[in-house]
Amino acid sequence: MTLKDFFARHPKAALAFSGGVDSAYLLYAGLQCGAEIRPYYVKTQFQPEFEFRDALRLCEQLGVEPRVLRLDALCAEAVRCNGPDRCYHCKNNIMSTIIAAAEADGFSLLLDGTNASDEAGDRPGMRALAELGIQSPLRICGLTKPEIRRLSREAGLFTWDKPAYACLATRVRTGEEITEERLGKIEAAEGCLFRLGFSDFRVRTVGDMALLQFTAEQLPAVQEAQERILEQLSVWFDQIRIDPEGRVKSL
């Protein structure tokens, strides 16, 4: 099945929209296929401000009006306590919020941007998608991340080379409580690293310590700027360590 086939069968749908590579291309493709597709962006404490701005920018580029929904992600104890199934509960809350709003707007089908490169075993939130009846056209049509990036580039979407960016909650070690203060420090520290010219990294917390993970390609530049990095991030963390192993580059 192609996306054209999918949208011929489903000409009207709501879209769980993050502004990332996958949902951005899915929104573009749906519009190109003539579908009535409306993006819903759920703003929680887990999304940094730049992701929100990117989502609005992409919608403006495509000439579509997003609906922004606000949700207190930390009001759910199962999310705040950050157990192994935290992603499932969080995804369930976000998607249920969108479903309620979309149904009120006259949309009975909700789509998301899960692609064919996403393994269910690595994505506990995918269980929530299945339970709620959410369809993933990119996955259904066999489109992988590299293909989506290529197609996005050909379409002129600025998101085509955007690094994968997991939500801020993934930076907190499983079992450690997620708080607004902790999330605020992580977002501020990552914003600082972006301004220093780095990309595709993570600021993870282990107790009160910040563990900085960069891709292997960036480690030489990290070493050169180490003193400056530690000085600037000390505003938010007393203990900072740079992971010498680096991290696998995101697709």
Does residue 169 lie within any of the structural domains? no
Q: How far apart are CA 173 and CA 190, in angstroms?
A: 17
Q: Do 130 and 193 reside in the same domain of the chain?
A: no
Domain-embedded: residue 105: yes
Query: Does residue 247 lie in a domain region?
Result: no
Q: Does any domain span residue 16?
A: yes
Q: Which domain holds residue 19?
A: 3-161
- Tally of domains in the chain: 2
- Cα-flanking dihedrals φ and ψ of residue 205, to 5°? -115, 135
The residue behind tokens 């996958």 is 22
Is 115 a member of any domain?
yes
Residue 172 maps to a domain = no
Of 102, 126, 161, the domain-final residue: 161
Q: Are residues 131 and 55 in the same domain?
A: yes
Q: Are residues 94 and 196 in the same domain?
A: no
Q: Is residue 251 part of a domain?
A: no
**What's the alpha-carbon Rg for the chain, to the nearest Å?**
19
User: Given a cut of 90, is residue 125 above it in pLDDT?
Assistant: no
Looking at residue 122, its pLDDT comes to 55
For the record, the structure tokens of 31 come out as 């519009």
Residues 61 and 7: their CA atoms lie apart, in Å, by: 21
Q: Give the pLDDT confidence of 154-166 residue by residue, as tens digits.
A: 999 999 999 888 8
Greater pLDDT, 165 or 142: 142
Among 107, 135, 161, which residue terminates a domain?
161
* Nearest by Cα to 41 from 66, 73, 72: 66
- 197 and 151 fall within a common domain: no
Mean pLDDT of the 40-54 span: 95
Q: Do residues 149 and 205 share a domain?
A: no
% of the chain beyond a pLDDT of 70: 96
Q: Average pLDDT in the 1-15 region?
A: 97
The reply to whether 96 and 142 lie within a common domain is yes
At 52 the pLDDT is: 95
Q: Domain of 194: which CATH number?
A: 3.30.70
- In a domain, residue 171? The reply is no
Based on the fold, state whether residues 80 and 108 are members of the same structural domain: yes
Question: Average per-residue pLDDT in the chain?
Answer: 93
Split at pLDDT 50, 70, 90, the class of 99 is very high
Q: Is the pLDDT of residue 247 over 90?
A: no
Q: In this structure, are 52 and 84 located in the same domain? A: yes
Residues 227 and 154 in one domain: no
**Are both 9 and 116 inside the same structural domain?**
yes
Q: pLDDT at position 3, please?
A: 97
pLDDT given for residue 155 in this prediction: 97
| Residue 245 pLDDT class (50, 70, 90 cuts) | confident
Q: What is the CATH number of the domain that holds 59?
A: 3.40.50.620
At residue 188, does pLDDT exceed 80?
yes
CA atoms 200, 30, 158, 48: torsion sign: negative
Average pLDDT of 142-164? 95
User: For the ranges 98-112, 117-131, 215-229, which has the lowest average pLDDT?
Assistant: 117-131
Q: Choose one of 115, 130, 161: the last residue of a domain.
A: 161
Whether residues 130 and 187 share a domain: the answer is no
Check residue 73 and report its DSSP letter.
Answer: G
195 and 73: one domain?
no
